[in-house]
Amino acid sequence: MDLTRREMIKMSAAGFAAAALNISLPTTSAANEEIVVDKWIKGTCRFCGTGCGIYAGVRNGQLAGIRGNPQAVTNFGFLCVKGFKGYISMYHPDRLKFPMMRGADDKFHKVSWDDALNKVANKFKELQEKFGKDSVAFYGSGQCMTEESYTFNKLWKGGFRSNMVEGNPRLCMASAVGGYITTFGTDEPAGSYADIEKARTIFIVGSNMAECHPILFRRVARHKLQNPDNVNIMVCEPRLTPTARIADVWLPADPGTDLAVFHCMARELIKNNWTDAWYINNLCRFSTGAQDVDFKAYVDFLEQFTPEAVEKITRCPAGNIKEAARLFGSHGPSMSLWTMGLNQRTRGVWANNLIHNLHLISGNICKEGADSFSITGQPNACGGVRETGSLCQLLPGTRSVTDAAARADVEKSWKLPPGTIDPKPGFHTMEMFAKLGAENDQTKPLKAMLTSTTNPAQSLPNAPKYFKGMKEGFLVVLDIFPTRTTQLADVILPAAFIYEKGGVYGCSERRSQLTQKCVDPPGEAKSDVWIAAQIAKRMGMERLIPWNGDDPQIAYQMAWDDYRECVKLTEHSLYGMTYDRLKQLEAGLQWPCPDEKSPGTARRYVRGYDPIMNMPEIVKVPSSALIYFYGDKKHEGKANVLLRPYKGAEEPPDKDYPFFLTTGRVIEQWHTGTMTMRVAEIARSKPNAYLEIHPSDAKEYGIKEGDMVKIASRRGFNILPARVVKNSLPGILFVPWFDQEWDRMINRVTIDAFDEGSKQPEFKICAVKIEKLGEPKDVSDMYIISDPNAPFPEKV
Amino acid sequence: MIITGSAIMVRSGTDKSVERKLEAFPQVTFHGKSNSGTDLIVNFECGDQEELESLCRTIRDSIPEIVDIGHIYVNFEDEIEKIKGGLS
Ligand code: SF4
């Protein structure tokens, strides 16, 4: 880089930063943006559910830089390390560049697209004829674009008449969906990120935002720093994470015990009169789930959860719980934010319900700064999977397949004969993988699966249990890199990265944003929509999925328009979000957005904000109602305050397995590390997984920093270097889950028990034992699977 | 080589002293600040991301008036060539 260019870049870079903060800098006005890149294209980051707006700089046909979009109201121009660096992985030489099929020698061989697609379509047809329409499954991802999930969902539910459609959001968000639906009757939060800056108390639960959603955390931290005496942060989380470090009140409850903490907080709210009588009388219905009860029954139910009793169950100090309740109830508006720590549990739905309870009885919802807000982990778990209904029990608009009216509406929109869509839900994720297997295995009704943009062989809990099914079933994998899952596949289809195709992502705050195509994909890689449409065409369903042309921008827009039409008359309507509007608007739009004049909706259920309140063709809301939970199945506009009994983890520690194991992310790495581990600096800064252990436990087991430790559950083991840290309570171990290396793949250890309601597994909690194996060893190998033909490490 | 466009958030009234202290870091170029003086606009120039992170840590540790450092733009064009060549 010569000096002139370097100086130009410096001035441009400073100019962008200044613009983001509305600062005018005379020194940068000389910088010529055109010199830095040929063009800037608006889009979103794909590395978490925050939905940060970016501009991608293209120079000589390739991406040369990413900058935050200062007008994006999600991030105001700021990005984290993954946002800046993650995209670089798309240029890694390991990219899958052509279709491959496994040959008789059990090795992958390069084939043409025609051969690969014909093989997939013919095999799917053959299996469906032989074993029925439900013998072939789709398993997608919260990282697929909305148009992609919608297309696959339509092909399966409308074309194959099969609800065997799932996606990895089942593993991260399903309990949040279950929580919203059982409490409010409909999915997703009422408020927006903008409530963060209006809240006076922020309750962060089961979320290490500082590492997993750094830009949202930045908003929280800045709000606190600018108002140190007036804003309180409370964190309920067993580890003293970087998030918990800024807390005014830390609630360190043992994993899986926080239901008792939330009930105790509710009890304190009521005992101290920190409740809102109007909300209780007008917006709350008290219910056990099976039957409605009155407020007194709720009060009586809570009586068992005294602070002292709860401290015994949870190890969380009684005084901290009381203080948390005081701040929540008397120092509002209060906003709760949570992620996987609440969801990835066998009582995930209940935990979500109990957070909603706190907001409802204290009147901390549907007001500025007050909301019960689930943050999603993946960039498009909300927009792509929840909203398009790409789960086994759902239809577009997050409607249920068991709802006859919803089925009829979708059939009409898809121009299908009445009765086409099967009313019976398909298999949820864990059932799907448990029932996938060989054609000659009569115990396995699923014979084939197509996965997109996900790596279940590494990301499923208790993963080894499911390897055999993946290996013996007919497995088609769409991805951009070789992974543990491609190692088990029959066909690998090389996919395009977000900036090589474009499309819409919908983030945690119901906001849809369009990314436009920036550059061409490498080799013969293709967009998911093209792949889905080509399979549909070869299976005689071209009329159902007509967007099968080569130009992704046209195909994706056609899919989007079809989707908009399909959900037009639903509470989740985004009919007003045309591609043209999404191209023009810097920050996208939040649904409900029922027509092209709608500015979107920052606050649902509130008259004057939410257009659905005035749309009797969708829901009937009494004209006198100012706040009305129109998802209420009883049409009373109320939300359910649920009396969920206390229940702890599925597998608490015992004498044989005396430790809690909890797992999670780190700031640098994303999910199974397939992309981020290919960015050199990221890989170097977190080159391997490790075991975090409290000094007192380490001492008892004679473990020193760096020692190699075997961690074992009833299902499997890992061998990891120890990090002796005071982050956790004694008795709680932590391992991040990004590492692909066999000995450090922590999902060989985790438990696959799941929530009965949401079917979401309890990744966050299982019982383990440990054993020191030896002295420190350098395992910073930054392991990645580079060769699709690299053998799978275990005989399957 | 990576170049950033970044904002350093400082405690109210400390901008001048932070500007002076930043002069000790040759990798930092100061461009200007907000009217309130709480946001300073700078470039960081570093060999790679690790160096950038460690520089930010050092600056934060040695200038306690700093509340936060955030990056709005990072140019990586040199690195794409490296990664394509399998040099990463
Ligand atoms: S916070 Fe999330 S969306 Fe924003 S830049 Fe970081 S990874 Fe991307």
Q: Output the pLDDT for position A773.
A: 96
Q: How far is CA B74 from CA A47, A65, A73, A566, A650, in A?
A: 16, 6, 20, 40, 45
Tell me the pLDDT tens digit for each residue of A145-173.
Answer: 999 999 999 999 999 999 999 999 999 89
* Nearest CB to B67; choose among A17, A64, A225: A225
Same domain assignment for residues A179 and A257:
yes
Query: A586 C-alpha vs ligand 1 centroid, how far in Å?
Result: 17
Interface test mutation site (partner B, options A8, A21, A89, max chain B beta carbons within 10 A):
A21
Beta bridge pairs of residue A40:
A57
pLDDT at B88 over 50: no
- Tell me the catalytic residues of A: 82, 172-173, 340, 377-378
- Is residue A689 within 8 Å of residue A736, measured between CB atoms? yes
Q: Which residues of chain A have pLDDT under 50?
A: 1, 29-30, 32, 34
CATH number at residue A527: 3.40.50.740
Same domain assignment for residues A487 and A533:
yes
Q: Output the pLDDT for position A30.
A: 46
Q: Output the pLDDT for position B87.
A: 43
Residues B73, A13: C-beta atoms closer than 8 Å: yes
Residues B50, A25: C-beta atoms closer than 8 Å: no
Contacts of A663 (CB under 8 A, 6+ apart): A734, A735, A736, A737, A746, A747, A750, A763, A764
End-to-end CA distance of chain A: 51
Q: Output the pLDDT for position B65.
A: 86
* Residue A650 included in any domain: no
Same domain assignment for residues A147 and A47:
no
* Residue A607 included in any domain: no
Q: Output the pLDDT for position A402.
A: 97
Q: Output the pLDDT for position A33.
A: 52
Q: Which atom of ligand 1 is nearest to the CA of A75?
A: 4
Query: A217 C-alpha vs ligand 1 centroid, how far in Å?
Result: 11
- Is residue A650 within 8 Å of residue A762, measured between CB atoms? yes
Same domain assignment for residues A354 and A493:
no
Same domain assignment for residues A292 and A439:
no
Same domain assignment for residues A27 and A117:
no
Query: A83 C-alpha vs ligand 1 centroid, how far in Å?
Result: 5
Q: Which atom of ligand 1 is nearest to the CA of A214?
A: 1
Please indicate if any CB of chain B lies within 8 Å of the CB of A59.
Answer: yes
Query: A216 C-alpha vs ligand 1 centroid, how far in Å?
Result: 9
Residues B5, A14: C-beta atoms closer than 8 Å: yes
**What does the domain layout of chain B look like in residue ranges?**
2-84
Same domain assignment for residues A668 and A758:
yes
* Residue A572 included in any domain: yes
Out of A44, A69, A79, mutate this one to test ligand 1's pocket (max ligand atoms within 8 Å of CB): namely A79
Q: Output the pLDDT for position A4.
A: 65
Same domain assignment for residues A452 and A371:
no
**How far is residue A755's CA from residue A6's CA, in Å, rounded to a whole number?**
55
* Residue A613 included in any domain: no
* Residue A786 included in any domain: no
Q: Output the pLDDT for position B3.
A: 87
Q: Output the pLDDT for position A85.
A: 76
* Cα A706 to the center of its chain, rounded Å: 32
* Residue A594 included in any domain: no
| Residues at CB less than 6 angstroms from ligand 1 | A 45, 47-48, 50, 52, 75, 79-80, 82-83, 213-215
Residues A13, B29: C-beta atoms closer than 8 Å: no
pLDDT at B78 over 70: no
Same domain assignment for residues A27 and A139:
no
CATH number at residue A314: 3.40.228.10
Give the DSSP letter of residue A526: B
Domain hosting A351: range is: 174-379+638-642
Q: In angstroms, what separates the C-alpha of A680 from chain B's closest C-alpha?
A: 5
Please indicate if any CB of chain A lies within 8 Å of the CB of B55.
Answer: no
Q: Output the pLDDT for position A65.
A: 81
* Residue A509 included in any domain: yes
Q: Tokens 């093989």 identify what position?
A: A119
User: In residues, how long is chain A?
Assistant: 796
Q: Which atom of ligand 1 is nearest to the CA of A79?
A: 5
* Residue A477 included in any domain: yes
**How far is residue A215's CA from residue A246's CA, in Å, rounded to a whole number?**
15
CATH number at residue A18: 2.20.25.90
Q: In angstroms, what separates the C-alpha of B75 from chain A's closest C-alpha?
A: 5
Q: Tokens 């004209």 identify what position?
A: A623
Of residues B51, B3, B77, B53, the one with CA closest to residue A14: B3
Size of interface A-B (CB pairs under 8 A): 147
Domain count of the fold of chain A: 4
Same domain assignment for residues A260 and A127:
no
pTM: 0.91
* Nearest CB to B32; choose among A23, A79, A221: A23
**Domain end residue (candidates: A91, A112, A140):** A91
DSSP A367-423: BTTBEEEEPPSSTTIIIIIITTT-STTEETTTEETT-HHHHHHHHHHTT--TT-S-S
Same domain assignment for residues A206 and A312:
yes
| B81 or B9, greater pLDDT | B9
Closest residue (by CA) to atom 2 of ligand 1? Answer: A48
What number is the average pLDDT over the span B52-80? 83
**Residues in chain A within 8 Å Cβ distance of B83:** 88-89, 91-93, 678-680
Give the DSSP letter of residue A627: B
Residues B43, A10: C-beta atoms closer than 8 Å: yes
**How far is residue A651's CA from residue B24's CA, in Å, rounded to a whole number?**
55
DSSP A243-274: TGGG-SEEE-PPTT-HHHHHHHHHHHHHHTT-
With a CB-CB cutoff of 8 Å, which residues 109-128 of chain A face chain B? none
Q: Tokens 């990413």 identify what position?
A: A66
Residues A63, B80: C-beta atoms closer than 8 Å: yes
Domain B2-84's class?
Answer: alpha beta
Q: Output the pLDDT for position A27.
A: 58
Same domain assignment for residues A398 and A466:
yes
**Residues in chain A within 8 Å Cβ distance of B43:** 10, 13-14
